[in-house]
Structure 1
């Protein structure tokens, strides 16, 4: 019997499935809040922080905020555990490698959320821009540091391109139980999946581009965290309206994550 089979609970659902769905829901909350904060920035509220730290601060300010923070952290732990099972027992080598990378990513994110929930707001929430500058500076000091930062920037940008292309091609559909959705729901999921995936991919592409520029110029300050990356869309010829579009897209990706929590095959 597989590990997933052994993990079945009394209600017939596997522990892995519950963990994965909880993780998608937690991811949805974070992206929905980041999109909301980015939208407020687009309309002039420059005091907001459009990144995970800003999203966690927003949650903490709500009634029962501390409980919600712990639920988010546990949900992200669940996502990391689900990705770990995919990395260990997945069928295709490429997907196992990608799942291993996602395991690390969600584990780090879960740790930071749980640290924030415990009361250490200086470490858990994090200021994405300062953290990006510090990490880039340390990396540039290593042997072949410029190449390492450039490789990381290229990887982030490529991840964004691949994610956007997959969203446009609606590759996510093969993972969904489409037969359980009404036609109107399928349409809504497609709108959120395509628009949200493209917006998320675009943010990754721009962030990767900033990292590449930091490597080329040997200036850590050129690297941007999520907040500065999102704000940079307002500095284009399209002005704040491009930021509005990206913000709405990120919020839609949050809604798409909720759909994944309900209908994805896990």
Structure 2
């Protein structure tokens, strides 16, 4: 029988994956509407959360999403500090744990944005916050080169998403002992398609950051929504946007399925 702390951590992780899956499924769905001409601008996460409040029982759903996003933030911070999934103790994994902590902080911010939407306040989008921070960096000595360095880092992150999709490096978190082979294959392919789509988004964000640095204009930078809209403006952009939107929908489904098949932890802090 699992220790109580392990059960709590597993529940927090799974709750977070459900909320994250719902958000990105909705982002993908709204982006697909844009790609096929049924909507206006492609949305980011904040815009997707705003859509929820207008649905039946929207307030109840948004409260559940806020709880789930906070759960995911807690889970990523726990990953960063305790590494309950017992990943290798390599320099790369240590770097990844720093990324986990940063992502946890970002989801705290996203849950706060959702809380603002619930209260009827204007929440700052990721595009707006990106522009503000890039503007501040550009004002620093060598600010242009710092932004270019950030762009290169994001581009490397995009290439890692492609690599992860190809080799399925994410499947360490699967509860393989309690999954059939077809279930593992299905979940792995959902993850591959969804994560590859994130690679496209990362590369476009890197391009926007580079454009902001080269023009010394923070408004050229952007987050998820700006990256998706920029995709639409490229050659064959509607097709690329539609493929990316489909991938984000699949990524949302992957997270929802992963919430059920996620490994139950036996990490050292929870023995």
Work out the CA distance in 2 between the residues paired with 1:115 and 1:150.
Answer: 32
Q: Which residue of 2 aligns with 1:237?
A: 235
Q: Which residue of 2 aligns with 1:97?
A: 98
Per the TM alignment, residue 24 of structure 1 is displaced from its structure 2 partner at its CA by 0.7
Superposition pairs for residues 144-183 of structure 1, below 5 Å? 144-183=142-181
Per the TM alignment, residue 138 of structure 1 is displaced from its structure 2 partner at its CA by 2.2
Work out the CA distance in 2 between the residues paired with 1:148 and 1:115.
Answer: 32
SS at match of 1:236: coil
Per the TM alignment, residue 48 of structure 1 is displaced from its structure 2 partner at its CA by 4.4
**Contact residue 154 and residue 209 of structure 1 kept, 8 A:** no
Per-residue deviation, residues 76-118 of structure 1 (Å, max 9, x unmatched):
1111111222222236333432322222222222222222223
SS at match of 1:14: helix
Please give the TM-score of this superposition, normalised by the length of structure 1: 0.87
* Relative contact order, higher structure (CA 8 A, sep 6+): 2
Q: Does structure 1 residue 139 correspond to structure 2 residue 137?
A: yes
Aligned length: 255
Work out the CA distance in 1 between the residues paired with 2:128 and 2:154.
Answer: 18
Q: Which residue of 1 aligns with 2:81?
A: 88
Q: Which runs of 4+ in 1 moved over 6 A?
A: none
Per-residue deviation, residues 217-247 of structure 1 (Å, max 9, x unmatched):
2111221231121122222222311111010
Q: Does structure 1 residue 74 correspond to structure 2 residue 73?
A: no
**Contact residue 16 and residue 81 of structure 1 kept, 8 A:** no
**Contact residue 40 and residue 48 of structure 1 kept, 8 A:** no
Work out the CA distance in 2 between the residues paired with 1:157 and 1:128.
Answer: 18
Q: Which residue of 1 aligns with 2:116?
A: 115
Work out the CA distance in 2 between the residues paired with 1:223 and 1:26.
Answer: 27
Please give the TM-score of this superposition, normalised by the length of structure 2: 0.86
SS at match of 1:192: helix
Work out the CA distance in 2 between the residues paired with 1:14 and 1:166.
Answer: 28
Superposition pairs for residues 42-57 of structure 1, below 5 Å? 42-57=35-50
Work out the CA distance in 2 between the residues paired with 1:227 and 1:95.
Answer: 25
Per-residue deviation, residues 137-179 of structure 1 (Å, max 9, x unmatched):
2221123322332222222222121122112111122220134
Work out the CA distance in 2 between the residues paired with 1:238 and 1:135.
Answer: 31
Work out the CA distance in 2 between the residues paired with 1:130 and 1:206.
Answer: 17
**Contact residue 140 and residue 146 of structure 1 kept, 8 A:** yes
RMSD, aligned CA: 2.1
